[in-house]
């Protein structure tokens, strides 16, 4: 997706995985400082990387996680493009969030970005997660309301927007983050998992007549925002969509 965007913009360069075990993170970041315009950061470094950076964007600071590093004048600047990428995806799909009751499932790095983005966008946000303590910490840090196991059904039935930000359903078309048979009465259902393109949650929501959105638009938008930070140029979104879908459609599990 990033290489397709580089070619479409007439830029040379490449986007490659840099396998980095935790004990090599500091050394890797020195390489990045010397030889790169930027990198993305993924599991398991999104939070631990903060300690090695020279500056943070307001979003990265508030979310407490970095998915994009920009190298500027030899300094490493941490950003979180998952948060604005998620909102851009909702807006592109015409899914309303301002003033709405959102229920976010999950409390990992991606859930933190989604909750921050929805709160900033004026939604009323509740959070449910398998590990209650992690959800409690997220709610405390970002001003959301905790939903315990006993209240999950009521929270699901009554929300206007349901977001799966857990990894349940990733490379697993048979698992859903919701208990069997439970779906919102009339909410839009967003699953940020992008592989498979149609998760079980999305298939069931669509069958119940609910509007749905998968994870590819957020993936493309967070990548497009990172591209802009690295190059100063707006990438061609259609080119990025085509490249991402080309890979994901070919890797259906
Ligand atoms: P993470 O930090 O590892 O968090 C994983 C979350 O999933 C936690 O809330 C975890 O709950 C929950 N979970 C995992 N297995 C579970 C299970 N069997 N039952 C119930 N809950 C379970 O990962 P992340 O970075 O937040 O990413 C989460 C997902 O979002 C991944 O699938 C990732 O690919 C996707 N993502 C998509 C985009 C996009 O652009 N579309 C961007 C970022 C991430 P516990 O706290 O209880 O362990």
pLDDT at position 252: 52
What are the start and end residues of each CATH 3.40.50.720 domain in the chain?
A: 83-216
- The answer, yes or no, to whether any atom of ligand 1 lies below 6 A from the CB of 110, is yes
Full 3-state SS string of the chain: CHHHHHHHCCCCCCCCCCCCCHHHHHHHHHHHHHHCCEEECCCCCCCHHHHHCCEECHHHHHHCCCCEEEEECCEEEEECCHHHHHHHHHHHHCCCCCCCEEEEECCCHHHHHHHHHHHHCCCEEEEECCCHHHHHHHHHHHCCEECCHHHHHHHHHHCCEEEECCCCCCCCCCCCCCCCCCCCCCCEEEECCCCCCCCHHHHHHHHCCCCEECCHHHHHHHHHHHHHHHHCCCCCHHHHHHHHHHHHHCCCC
pLDDT at position 130: 98
Ligand 1 centroid distance, CA of 253 (Å): 18
- The answer, yes or no, to whether any atom of ligand 1 lies below 6 A from the CB of 164, is no
Asked if residue 128 lies in contact with residue 155, where contact means CB atoms within 8 angstroms, the answer is yes
What are the start and end residues of each CATH 3.40.50.10860 domain in the chain?
A: 2-80+219-251
Give the position, in ligand 1's atom list, of the atom nearest the Cα of 192. 41
Ligand 1 centroid distance, CA of 94 (Å): 25
- The answer, yes or no, to whether any atom of ligand 1 lies below 6 A from the CB of 129, is yes
| Fold type of domain 2-80+219-251 | Rossmann fold (3.40.50)
- The answer, yes or no, to whether any atom of ligand 1 lies below 6 A from the CB of 130, is yes
pLDDT at position 194: 97
Return the CATH class of domain 83-216: alpha beta
- The answer, yes or no, to whether any atom of ligand 1 lies below 6 A from the CB of 191, is no
Name which residue sits closest to atom 11 of ligand 1, judged by CA. 130
Give the position, in ligand 1's atom list, of the atom nearest the Cα of 82. 42
The structure's pTM equals 0.97
pLDDT digit string (tens) for the chain, length 253 residues: 999 999 999 999 999 999 999 999 999 999 999 999 999 999 899 999 999 999 999 999 999 999 999 999 999 999 999 999 999 999 999 999 999 999 999 999 999 999 999 999 999 999 999 999 999 999 999 999 999 999 999 999 999 999 999 999 999 999 999 999 999 999 999 999 999 999 999 999 999 999 999 999 999 999 999 999 999 999 999 999 999 999 999 875 4
Instruction: Give the Cα-Cα-Cα angle 179, 148, 100 (nearest 5 degrees).
Output: 85
- Residues contacting 101, CB < 8 A, separation 6+: 123, 124, 126, 158, 159, 160, 161
């Amino acid at each position: 997706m990033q290489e397709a965007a580089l070619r479409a913009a007439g830029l040379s360069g490449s986007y490659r995985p840099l396998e980095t075990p935790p004990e090599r993170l500091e050394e890797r970041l020195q390489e990045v400082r010397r030889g790169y315009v930027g990198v993305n950061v993924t599991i398991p470094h999104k939070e631990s990387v903060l300690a090695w950076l020279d500056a943070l964007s307001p979003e990265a600071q508030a979310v407490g996680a970095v998915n994009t590093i920009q190298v500027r004048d030899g300094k490493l600047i941490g950003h979180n493009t998952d948060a604005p990428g998620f909102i851009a995806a909702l807006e592109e799909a015409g899914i309303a969030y301002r003033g709405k009751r959102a229920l976010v499932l999950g409390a990992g790095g991606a859930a933190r970005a989604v909750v921050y983005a929805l709160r900033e966008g004026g939604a009323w946000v509740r959070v449910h997660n398998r590990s209650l303590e992690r959800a409690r910490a997220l709610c405390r840090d970002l001003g959301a309301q905790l939903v315990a196991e006993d209240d999950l059904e009521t929270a699901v039935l009554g929300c206007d927007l349901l977001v799966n930000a857990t990894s349940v359903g990733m490379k697993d078309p048979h698992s859903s983050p919701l208990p069997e048979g439970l779906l919102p009465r009339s909410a839009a259902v967003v699953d940020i998992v992008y592989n498979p393109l149609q998760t079980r949650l999305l298939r069931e929501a669509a069958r119940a007549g609910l509007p749905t959105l998968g994870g590819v638009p957020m993936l493309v938008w967070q990548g497009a925002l990172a591209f802009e930070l690295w190059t100063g140029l707006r990438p061609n979104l259609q080119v990025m969509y085509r490249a991402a879908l080309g890979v994901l459609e070919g890797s259906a599990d």
